[in-house]
Structure 1
Amino acid sequence: MKILFLLTQSLDGPLGIGRIGPLASELARLGHRVNILGLHPDFGSLTRRSFVQDGVRVEYVAPMHVQKRGNLKTYYSPGKTLWVATNAAWQLTRAALRVDADLIHICKPHMMNGVAGLAARFLRGRKLFLDCDDYEAESGHFGASWQKMGVEFFEKQLPRLVHCVTTNTYFLRDMLVQWDVPPEKIVYLSNGVERARFERPNSEQLDTLRAEWRLIGKRVIVFVGSLSMPSHPVDLLLTAFQKVHAALPDTVLMLVGGGEQFEILQRMAQELGISSVVRFCGRVAPEKAVLYYHAADVSVDPVLADNIARGREPLKLFESWACGVPFISADVGDRRMLLGSPPAGLLAQPGDAESLARAIHQILSDPEMAETFRQRGLERVGAYYWDQLAGKLETMYQQALEKKLIRTPS
């Protein structure tokens, strides 16, 4: 098969690293010809805009609608955003019509890649898939009300115009049905983890990391993800950690990632009096993330009881399992289902710093419990490696091309 992914970010963004990149690579290993057309947050500085990575042809065609430099993410003004998004839609459309593909998978229901995908469907007869991995209208950053209205329009209308929708949460599946998407068009495709990227690093690398971040002799809590609130309420984790550190003075919190609240969270740590024991590690190369997990005693996914959390399946859950690190989140969305029975992790009360602090304290103070969660995670993650999940997607693609999966939408 000839498969084209339309991405509105770069491959080193969360969706590219954790979902689309690994899927594309595994499909290429299965013998398919795979292309990715994407946008880049620092497009003007790129020295290579077209290259082959893990057997996948990648081409960046325009700037992304946000800018990322160093550990910070910044947004354009509403007027500039409209211009950037319109240009991105045009460039993605031109490229999508140029690339020879049997089917196109739109990665997120955005205007830019949505317009490009629909053009390829109606002008080139391509089969069209759509991947929904977030509740976009709730989790996005909007500088004006019309921006949110536009996102809501595409999020609700685009799924009705494609042949199949993949999603990674049952909350989003139910929302799609509410938006009049036929249930037979919706397929659950979980997040997963890249087997090769999360192999255990050697002890020398770990020792170097521990020395660099002053972790030797410490009990380490790690958060790996975007420092962007409210999508990732890291402020909740800082408040909980203050309580943990008061009870367990040998603890350290590592925050691995960048985002628009990077400096705000640094100031918050200072105000809470814990800046000396919070390590702001910043963005790290995807292949280095495994080191930070293996240096930790517990991994935390702080969440609120909101639709942002319900619509998101945390990649850090599967990554923590793959690294043998006990995992803590909250009872929101699919998290209880994913942890299974008996659970492969702890659930705190959402949005409750006291409850989160108790859960962290419990794992750090009970080695037997920590080992139980570690072993369960290592067992459960076997079903979530991308080399297995890609086979499921391959079957869906083949059925769609053979018109066995669902009827073509009118």
Structure 2
Amino acid sequence: MASAGKTRRVLIIVENLPSPFDRRVWQEATTLKQNGYEVSIICPTGKGYESRYELLDDIHIYRHPLPMEANGALGYLLEYGAALFWEFYLSFKVLFTRGFDAIHACNPPDLIFLVGGFFRLFGKKFLFDHHDINPELYEAKFNRKDLFWKLLLLCERLTFKTAQVSIATNESYKRIALERGGMDPENVYIVRSGPKLDRLEITDAVPELKCGKKFLVGYVGVMGQQEGIDYLLHAARHIIYDLKRDDVHFGLVGGGTELEELQKLAAELGVSDYVTFTGRVPDQELLDMLNTADICVNPDVANEMNDKSTMNKIMEYMALGKPIVQFDLTEGRFSAGDASLYAKKNDEIDLAEKILELLDDEDMRIKMGELGRIRVINELEWKYEEPKLLQAYDALFAS
């Protein structure tokens, strides 16, 4: 959006995923570009995104290496330290080449405020795009509230204090911005992670992905501790061995720190022949799996973090007309509504039974899939969020 003939220049910083792989960040970037902003992005490299610099859709992407995908205190220290170094270095590179007027920081981690706060001293704007609630994530992973948990709360609070405007992905995150972050309600904007239907195209199924089975259960997402894939694998074992069903295959798309451990767990449970782990794959392979799936699942662990978080995969399932089974979480229920069945929290047996209930009722599957797609088309698609993003930016540049 040009203001008084001057183009607004934005630098987006994201640490945990490369662009354009991170769909929320890329949708925000392209929306800003299409509305007259100049956009640069700093992000890590990743599989398929190894180039250190790329110009894509007239958006300048600067990528940096990371020493490892963090898992444990030392791993996080190395990752975050390296990320901060590269974010400062590349910020100066952008500043002295293309320039920027505002920094748009996407967590995790909640340390990018150090970059934003530094450049605020020189008149730059700072917007915080709140993707993850890290204190809740830490508590869920390690089941404790110790010094590190307190440090995460401090970093979160300092991030909000540094930001002139913040973006929340849902009402739960907005409450955190107001109550823990102390932000003025007028400076907090809800911008949900709605899918773009031109990317999520409904196509023909690929029968080979069912591996000879009648049904395919699809999943897309991170293979981490909080995603509940262990519950899903135990549910698969219950379906296959206790309920004597050998007509169901599971297609799990995504990478993460727990991928190898989950593959080992599948082998220990005796379900490896019924589960395909693809790892991180290109969009087309992801879409093939989801378009082939009869139903999709979201086994996210029931905890404070997941209860308050909106999961992109739910909306992607709905955009493709897929009925869903998930644990009963607040934001998951808000997003999916009647397009999902809800299993008891962290109950792998009930999860298994809900999966079979839906697989065995074709009429229900069709009805729920249609309801989900209609909700996305009429309410949740990204085009409904674009004006809210632009409104947040108008407020940022007016501050």
Unaligned runs of 5+ in 1: none
Q: Does 1:235 align with 2:212?
A: no
Decide whether the 8 Å contact of 1:17 with 1:286 is kept in 2: no
After superposition, residues 223-302 of structure 1 pair within 5 angstroms as: 223-229=219-225, 231-246=226-241, 247=243, 248-302=245-299
CA distance in 2, matches of 1:41, 1:378: 31
Q: Which amino acid aligns with 1:296?
A: A
Say which SS state the counterpart of residue 104 (structure 1) adopts: strand
Q: Does 1:29 align with 2:34?
A: yes
Decide whether the 8 Å contact of 1:109 with 1:130 is kept in 2: no
Quick one: structure 1 residues 322 and 51, their matched pair in 2 at CA, closer, same or farther if it must change by over 3 Å?
same
Deviations, residues 50-106 of structure 1 (Å, cap 9, x unaligned) = 11122311112x3336439xxxx8985466346424423432442464442333211
Decide whether the 8 Å contact of 1:344 with 1:376 is kept in 2: yes
Q: Does 1:348 align with 2:343?
A: yes
Q: What's 2:11 paired with?
A: 4
Q: What's 1:188 paired with?
A: 190
CA distance in 2, matches of 1:239, 1:59: 41
Instruction: Determine what percentage of the aligned residue pairs are the same residue.
Output: 23
Decide whether the 8 Å contact of 1:110 with 1:151 is kept in 2: no
Say which SS state the counterpart of residue 61 (structure 2) adopts: strand
Range that drifts further, 30-39 or 295-304 = 30-39
Q: TM-score, normalised by structure 2?
A: 0.87
Q: Identify which of 26, 49, 59 aligns with 2:62.
A: 59
| Alignment root-mean-square deviation, CA | 2.7
Quick one: structure 1 residues 147 and 64, their matched pair in 2 at CA, closer, same or farther if it must change by over 3 Å?
farther
Unaligned runs of 5+ in 2: 1-7
After superposition, residues 9-408 of structure 1 pair within 5 angstroms as: 9-11=16-18, 16-40=21-45, 48-60=51-63, 62-64=64-66, 66-67=68-69, 77=75, 80-81=78-79, 83-95=81-93, 97-98=95-96, 99-108=98-107, 110=109, 112-123=111-122, 125-139=123-137, 148-179=149-180, 180-201=182-203, 203=204, 206-207=205-206, 210-211=207-208, 213-229=209-225, 231-246=226-241, 247=243, 248-340=245-337, 343-382=338-377, 383-401=379-397, 403=398, 408=399
How many residue pairs get matched? 383
Q: Which amino acid aligns with 2:335?
A: L
CA distance in 1, matches of 2:341, 2:170: 19
By how many angstroms is 1:395 displaced? 2.4
Q: Which amino acid aligns with 1:87?
A: F
Deviations, residues 237-288 of structure 1 (Å, cap 9, x unaligned) = 1111222234332001111112222121112112222111111121111343
Q: What's 2:4 paired with?
A: none
Q: TM-score, normalised by structure 1?
A: 0.84
Q: Which amino acid aligns with 1:267?
A: K
Quick one: structure 1 residues 172 and 282, their matched pair in 2 at CA, closer, same or farther if it must change by over 3 Å?
same
By how many angstroms is 1:30 displaced? 3.1
Quick one: structure 1 residues 109 and 120, their matched pair in 2 at CA, closer, same or farther if it must change by over 3 Å?
farther
Deviations, residues 357-384 of structure 1 (Å, cap 9, x unaligned) = 1211111011111111110011011132
The runs of at least 4 consecutive aligned structure 1 residues that moved more than 6 Å come to none
Deviations, residues 314-345 of structure 1 (Å, cap 9, x unaligned) = 111111011111112222231222223xx121
CA distance in 2, matches of 1:236, 1:88: 37
Decide whether the 8 Å contact of 1:65 with 1:75 is kept in 2: no
Q: Which amino acid aligns with 1:80?
A: L
